[in-house]
Structure 1
Amino acid sequence: MKFNSFVMRVILIASIVLSIILSWKIWTNNTHYERRTDSQTTTKAVSRKSDRKISDIFLPTQILWRTNQQSQLVYNSKESLVPKLKEAMKLTKSARFKASKLSEANYYQAITTDDTLTLLYPDNISYAVFKKVFDDSNNQLSRNTTFNRIKITMGNKPQLTLMNDKSHMTYQTTMRQFSEAQVKRILDHSDVHLNVKESLLNHKPFIYVAADQSLLPYSYLVNQQPENYYITTLLDQKNTDNIDAKEQGDNVIYTDGANNDLYKRLTINHKTGEIAFVKYEDTKSPTGLTKSFETSFAALLKTGNSLSGMRFYSYDEDTNSTTYRTYVEGAPTLVF
């Protein structure tokens, strides 16, 4: 018994000594663990940066194919067709554009021509942005010339027409490098051809889906960030005590800064999930549509949010503001 007691005392003393040694090593090497934590945090911050370009965000959102006096809204549920069509219609060589102002009747006739492929934007873009998206090396139009419709007329001499649904202005040219066979192969690989009709409403064409058509149900995972993510990213990241919050109906409005030159406002609608961010800076507003797009896109990148599926949605001339939305199958996502 005495021997066993002696062994237990030795083991206990050894354990205490070992514990003291290990504790001393941890305390004296604390800076090592701190550096490791900083490194991990830095890696996470870098991974949030987006490598998206303005040419990715300003892609057309809808594809229309018209043949036999029937328009079809075309898309592929497995992959986006727009980037493939973009590669098929690189405009390295083309004749000069011919500008025309059409009457309402002639404009409607032009958009309902057979054997045409049309790429649609939800709102007007500028020619300078079009050049970036489609790698167009020509300088044939003013950089701020606006249009929302890119129409390709098939045939021996394929025609490219840039069309503005609001003003009924058209800009037409002959495409010298274009493969009709390649485009038709891309369209043949699409798994959805939805019969639609374009009709004029308030002097503008709108797409109406024909009746008695069924679609397969789809489910998608939509990326969503908590409110605090946008508050810390877009407002004062160093001192959240400077941020004021107030409720107005379904909206929560966060403000940062009393100085008008540095004033920021973040509005979050809890009903729709929409977020609006306004930043007043001691700088001049961008002049021209293209500059406004470039400035808004730079601000979009600064949010650090995922831009997968993000597309240009609209531009408001009165407020000089650009809206972007996440798109699925050519339609903007909504939160219910």
Structure 2
Amino acid sequence: MLLLSDDQTRDALPFPDLIDALADMFRSGCVMPTRHHHDMEIPGEPDGTMLLMPAWVPGGYAGVKVATVVPGNAERNLPAVSAQYLLSDARTGEMLALVDGGELTARRTAAASALAARYLARADARHLLVLGTGRLAPNLIAAHMAVRPIEEVTIWGRSKEKASELARDLEQRFPISVRPADTLKDALGKADIVSAATLSTEPLISGKHLKPGAHVDLVGAFKPSMRESDDDLIKRAEIYVDTRDGCLSEGGDIVQPLKTGLISPQDIQADLYELCRGEHPGRQSDEAVTMFKSVGAALEDLAGAILAYRNVEH
């Protein structure tokens, strides 16, 4: 059985190939039972979350990810997400690979955002604003650079010091301008794409501050109690999701406006299945504000694990 470290997993999942692998899996589909989602009490700090995410292609590959999300790890300078992915042969049950789940999760999450941006961000989108200074930030930048001509990146974080430090680091890694945000309001008004990867429970992105044609990518807020967007954005935007089942029950940016009656399930324009299958064209006009909410799907992990296994094995 292959054992893939975080470095090996990252090298086996180049973003152009990973984005295409996700698109192929959303087009063809797979069996994806409802994931197990358990709160884990951690004394003296916010609860953690344990996730079990199975999926399989009948007669092809099967896999399950075991992940924990611990918000308190930020204070320990540890990643919020820890995970492993076990890939098997779906015909024989043979265990094929143990893939580093943290790297797989970070890259497939960013790839799903970039896949959505293919359909929802303007073709000339050049300025990316990233909210959050964690592991996902550099992945979101690299993934969006694979699908749009990004020339400028702005980083916003609750800690200006962390945002400045990350911006300096990323400018060494990417051949583009990377700067910390002066203020979030100002940054929101300039960005072509806004990508948020936070654990916020209060809205950060105000719809009234966005310029026409902006695309908003909401990656964090994976629980009903969390939220990154405000009601103004929900009312203004064309709304898209990774999967309807997941976002209608888990993502606070969709669940909360549904509860208050601000939107109905019919206000969701399309999910990634419909976009990738050509059942919906995506962005309707250059002036529209588009919003994509993702909560993650086991399908994405399976597609990534298969790609990593094939790239290493061959």
**Which has more helix, going by share of residues?**
2
**Which has more strand, going by share of residues?**
1
Q: TM-score, normalised by structure 2?
A: 0.23
Flag the structure with more relative contact order, 1 or 2, with Cα contacts below 8 A and sequence separation at least 6: 2
Report the structure number with the largest CA radius of gyration. Answer: 1
